[in-house]
Structure 1
Amino acid sequence: MTDAAPTHPLAEILGGKPPRRDTHEGWQYYCRSRRSFVPAPRLSLDQWQAMSDRDKALHNLHRTATHVNMPLQETPMAKRVASLVDRRIRGNAMRLTSATWPGVMVFGLGYQGKTETVCDIAAEFEVTFREAGHQINPHAMPGTRALHAPVVYVQTPVTATPKSTCQAILDFFGAHTKGLTLPQLVQQVAASLDGHGVRALILDDITRLRMHRADDQDVLDLIRAFMSMNVTLVLIGADIPGSGLLRKAKWDSRARQWVFPPSASTHVHGLEVTQTERRFDLVELGTFECTTSEGIEAFLDHLAGLEDGLRLFKAWPGMLTGGTMPEYLRRRTNGVIGLLARLIEDGAMEAMASGKEYLDEELLDTITISLDALGRDPGAGEIPIVPDLSSSKAKKPPTRRQKRPRNTVFDDLGPRAAAGGA
């Protein structure tokens, strides 16, 4: 009996497209694999040139995969959001009372990392929760082996109705929904949340709801009513404060939460078992604040993390953090993490293709940031404004008559880099 051939780190990526997170199978795959990618080894140009043509091609493929699968970095903004979401999900899951559990609303610009931040925290919770319960669903009916789903992730339908929203939730479990009436769908959702041991229900792209439409108002009432089922509701959207989702909500200064009145319509379907008010924490995942020394430091740390993840043969320490590069990258992306990642990712691929093997402003000037609009709703703020390339060009020095004090926000910090931040 011989040992199995070693598996190349690219095997799983090349083996097929991973399932989507909005199914139970896809969510479980995400929980298992979200930190399993092995980046390409760091090789010098001489080491790469000494390889066979086949090994060169494989290594380049691995480098490309590394550049498009950069690990999620902790930023001050993401840390604040993650702390609140984690506190709510874990705290609620330990409650022994039947009181309505408070939820969380997370908002911010499109491509800012809201979904990835929330899903990473929720996946970590699920892994821990399953291990603590020995992988057993505590709510399984006697004599059955009900599917255990501590976390459910669902994308709000682009044109949401109460029926389509219920169907999207039930699709996560692969449940049969054809021919069911709305009351039947609502009851099946309630039974599924309870029977599958759901502790957190994540509804992404919630700002697709338009509060001037009666159907959308009914959807929001329906979603809030699910909180009666002892589920932590996590709503993710681009501009929740400006979307109308806080309609009729009042700010409770003592509890520091938004308070909603009891749901108006869903009680007719038997879901509204109490008249308890629904409470939400509202938290923003913003951009880097580069008007303070702390914000600048956080932005530079993020760039250093991106730089560390690159596998370009001619890269050097400080390639993204030195000189005028930080200011350039800020102008190109407005500090939006997703835009910054796309610019660096495409730039790295161009650097490989051209043989340049490093990033500078000249190369990045050739990159147009193009966003994938497939499945995204521009009207809901899911696609951010991309700064015009011309706005990132270095401006000519002002004439003597026009001369003003220069902006030193992104000056090279020199001593910081030399002393390692000391």
Structure 2
Amino acid sequence: MTPPRTTELPEGARPKLDNLTLSRKEGLHALAEAPRRLQPETLTLKQIAALGEVARLEYEHGRSVWHANLGPLRTPQLEALHEDLWDIVASNQQDGDKAKGAVAVDAFPGLGKTTAVLDFALKYHQREIARAGSFTDSGHERWPVCRVGLTSNIGMKDFNRALLEFYAHPGRKTGTATLFAQRALDCVLECETKLLIIDDLHFLKWQDKNGKEVSNHFKYIANEFPVTLIFIGVELGNRGLYSESDSRGDITLAQTARRTTPLTMDAYAVGNNKQRHQWRKLMLGLEQRLVLARKYPGMLADDLSDYLYIRTTGHIGSLMTLINRGCQRAARTGTELLDQELLNQVKLDAGAERARKALEKKFARKRMTTKPLSRVARTVSAKTVA
């Protein structure tokens, strides 16, 4: 079985990434192989006004797309997760007769876990293609990474079909769950896939029939497929991923628990000076990426630092959404900068808005701040306490 070949783009051309899906190999390939997105030039108000109609539309579209794709950012959380993933993936290069350890990236929504794992997967894909080439020795396309997203009430047959859909296997339409599994194994072997990413694992209902079926199937994959499983989900421990047995004493979950290493990502904290410096570094990095005519040094890091933390509670997902939507509004309305008045008009996710009220009180009472304390301030503070 040789999967269909993807269509090669002309050199220097950029695929339409807004129309891809990572449930298909073509989408992952397009994202991994796309040339680096270039930041549009930041024009002055006078330069923008001098543009012709078509040029103005192109400029506005270009920076709109840019602001919608500012990440991923090299945050401490992302870098720490990548270090752990490289350790585990590198240590899983055992011969095929040995089962490989799995990974579970378990964190609350809005902390960037899927973005971070995908960024790692793309780097792994690029590294393997650079090292071993786009085709295997047998002439099949090389696909170092496969990604499957789960849906509610998914069963073993549905899961195996999703694997085949990723590879565009011609036998993905008809067959039994067992046949689908055998075909999926053929794809993994012939395409030399090494990472199998399973996203939205929290959709799996571990205690019902389908949940147990798929959980047992993960053990089969770990034993028979020469891949590293990377699970992504929310509160996977509470949902039973690491349980030694279920509520009826069934110990079939124990093998998954013993072979799975839990990793997580945390929100930004500002409880000490080191953490506040990390937040400020993030603000400064974001400032450099914004394409707004009236932006200025310190717009985020000085004038909006506390505000942005309060609005997003340090969740990178909420922060990137707020910055993206704020930039879209600032460009569209001609404001051309971010300030509190404009950002107050931007709607954000319900979780961030709920948590905002409690943080506002702490910041108002000077019990919290995102601003790093200077050496002088720390010295004065220490003398005052003494």
Same fold, TM-score > 0.5, yes or no:
yes
Q: Distance in 1 between matches of 2:135 and 2:359?
A: 58
2:260 counterpart of 1:280: yes
Counterpart of 1:406? 366
Moved over 6 A (4+): none
- SS of the aligned residue for 2:321 comes to helix
2:184 counterpart of 1:164: no
Distance 1:54 1:287, change over 3 A: same
**Which of the numbers 176, 182, 185 marks the counterpart of 1:187?**
182
Return the letter of the residue paired with 1:343.
L
- Relative to the length of structure 2, the TM-score reads 0.84
Return the letter of the residue paired with 2:168.
G
Q: Distance in 2 between matches of 1:335 and 1:107?
A: 17
2:276 counterpart of 1:296: yes
Q: Distance in 2 between matches of 1:397 and 1:164?
A: 49
Correspondence list, 1:1-400, <5 A: 12=14, 17-33=18-34, 36-92=36-92, 94-96=93-95, 98-138=97-137, 140=138, 145-175=139-169, 176-228=171-223, 229-248=225-244, 261-262=254-255, 279-323=259-303, 325-370=304-349, 385-388=351-354, 391=357
Q: Distance in 2 between matches of 1:32 and 1:108?
A: 28
Counterpart of 1:273? none
Provide the alpha-carbon RMSD of the alignment: 2.9
Return the letter of the residue paired with 2:107.
G
Return the letter of the residue paired with 1:221.
N
Distance 1:389 1:44, change over 3 A: farther
Return the letter of the residue paired with 1:205.
D
Any conservation in 2 of the 1:156–1:205 contact (CA below 8 Å)?
Answer: yes
Counterpart of 1:3? none
Return the letter of the residue paired with 1:120.
D
Q: Distance in 2 between matches of 1:406 and 1:318?
A: 21
1:402-421 Cα deviation digits (max 9, x unpaired): xxx731433475789xxxxx
- SS of the aligned residue for 2:351 comes to coil
- SS of the aligned residue for 1:345 comes to helix
Q: Distance in 2 between matches of 1:98 and 1:397?
A: 57
1:228-279 Cα deviation digits (max 9, x unpaired): 2221010011221222111217xxxxxxxxx96347xxxxxxxxxxxxx951
Cα drift, residue 207 of structure 1: 1.1
Unaligned runs of 5+ in 2: 1-9, 246-251, 377-386
1:150-184 Cα deviation digits (max 9, x unpaired): 11011112321111111111110112233311222
- Relative to the length of structure 1, the TM-score reads 0.78
Any conservation in 2 of the 1:315–1:359 contact (CA below 8 Å)?
Answer: yes
Percent pairwise identity? 22
Counterpart of 2:5? none
Distance 1:411 1:178, change over 3 A: closer
Unaligned runs of 5+ in 1: 1-6, 250-258, 264-276, 371-383, 399-404, 417-422
Distance 1:392 1:351, change over 3 A: farther
Q: Distance in 1 between matches of 2:40 and 2:374?
A: 30
Q: Distance in 1 between matches of 2:213 and 2:360?
A: 51
Counterpart of 2:6? none
Distance 1:195 1:302, change over 3 A: same
Q: Distance in 2 between matches of 1:188 and 1:394?
A: 55
- SS of the aligned residue for 1:106 comes to strand
Any conservation in 2 of the 1:157–1:165 contact (CA below 8 Å)?
Answer: no
- SS of the aligned residue for 1:281 comes to strand
Cα drift, residue 285 of structure 1: 1.2
Counterpart of 1:256? none
- SS of the aligned residue for 1:385 comes to helix
1:81-127 Cα deviation digits (max 9, x unpaired): 111112222332x4336211111110112232111211111221122
Any conservation in 2 of the 1:204–1:237 contact (CA below 8 Å)?
Answer: yes
Any conservation in 2 of the 1:351–1:358 contact (CA below 8 Å)?
Answer: yes
Any conservation in 2 of the 1:159–1:208 contact (CA below 8 Å)?
Answer: yes
Distance 1:45 1:219, change over 3 A: same
1:57-99 Cα deviation digits (max 9, x unpaired): 221221211111103111111111111112222332x433621
Return the letter of the residue paired with 1:207.
H
Counterpart of 2:4? none
Cα drift, residue 12 of structure 1: 4.6
Q: Distance in 2 between matches of 1:85 and 1:137?
A: 24
Distance 1:407 1:51, change over 3 A: same
Distance 1:279 1:262, change over 3 A: closer
- SS of the aligned residue for 2:299 comes to coil
